[in-house]
Each structure stands twice: as structure tokens, then as C-alpha cells.
Amino acid sequence: MAKKVCTTKLKRELKAFNASPPAHIPAVSVNEANILEWHFLFEGPPDSPFLGGFYVGKLIFPADYPFAPPSISLLTPSGRFKPGSKICMSMSDFHPESWNPSWSVATILVGLLSFMMEDGVAFGTIATSEAEKKQLAAESRDWILRQPKAPCPFAISG
């Protein structure tokens, strides 16, 4: 069960995110039954092998957020992250010692998108060629359309 501070902060962040989503991160969706579970949608940035791709991921916040970091995973095959695997980065629950309570959902997602553009190795990352990433980007819309609404709440036209 989320603490009141957590719930209040997440509601405020949802409102702020929806008012001004970061570039290439057009949407988030919050589980109505559990405010600690969020899904997000990335659009592949220009000048990257992800161009044209759409990627769904998940944030799971701890009950004591913002004083502890969320777990982060990307669900859509991307060629950068192992689908459904937790991702190790400084803004995730792999590194609570580097967590900053002033970071927001938008900050976390911008950081993840930046990490997606790099080639660094960490838990949850995979190594693929640029051609493989481009192929997965081309297939990503169909992957999303095949998913049940529960793990993939975003409506993406075909």
C-alpha cells in the first residue's frame, strides 16, 4: 500500500507529465487499481536506430517513493534492453544509494531514453547490431498491437 506522501507525489507528477510530456515520451498510463504501477510509451528518436519504433515499458514504484527509486523495465523488444527484465541504471532500484528524491517520473524516463541511445553494458541490457535495432523498430508497432490491454494500455493506430 502506497504511503500518502507517495500517492500525493505520483498524482502531482502524473498531472505535470500529462501537461508537458518530454520529447519522444508521449504518454504514461497509471494502473487505476495500483498507483505504484505505471506504463510509458517511447517513440524512437530521429538519428537513432530506433527511429519509427514505439516502445512500452513499466515503472514500479516502492510504497516509500519519492524516498526510494522505482524498478524499470522495457517490455517491447528493442535490441537494447532484454524485454521484461529490470534495467540497472542510477535512477533504478538497482542503485538506491544514487537515488535523488527530487527526480520525477519525467526525469527517470528521459534518463532511460538517454541510456537507450548508449551502448553501455548493465543488467537488463543486450548487445545487438544497428540493423537488428532497426528491424525491431519496424516491428514494434505490430508487437504493441498484438498485446492485451493489461500490459499495453496504449492505443497505437496501425
Cβ contact 49:74 at 8 Å: no
Helices (H), the chain: 4-19, 105-116, 130-146
Catalytic annotation, pick one of 88, 122, 126, 156:
88
Is residue 88 flagged as an active site residue? yes
Which residues, including other chains, have CB under 8 Å from residue 111's CB and lie 6 or more apart? 89, 90, 91
- d(CA 122, CA 65) in angstroms, rounded, equals 24
The edge-to-edge listing of strands for the beta sheet with 37-43 is 27-30, 37-43, 54-60, 71-74
Which residues, including other chains, have CB under 8 Å from residue 80's CB and lie 6 or more apart? 50, 74, 116, 125, 126, 128, 133
- Catalytically active residues are 88
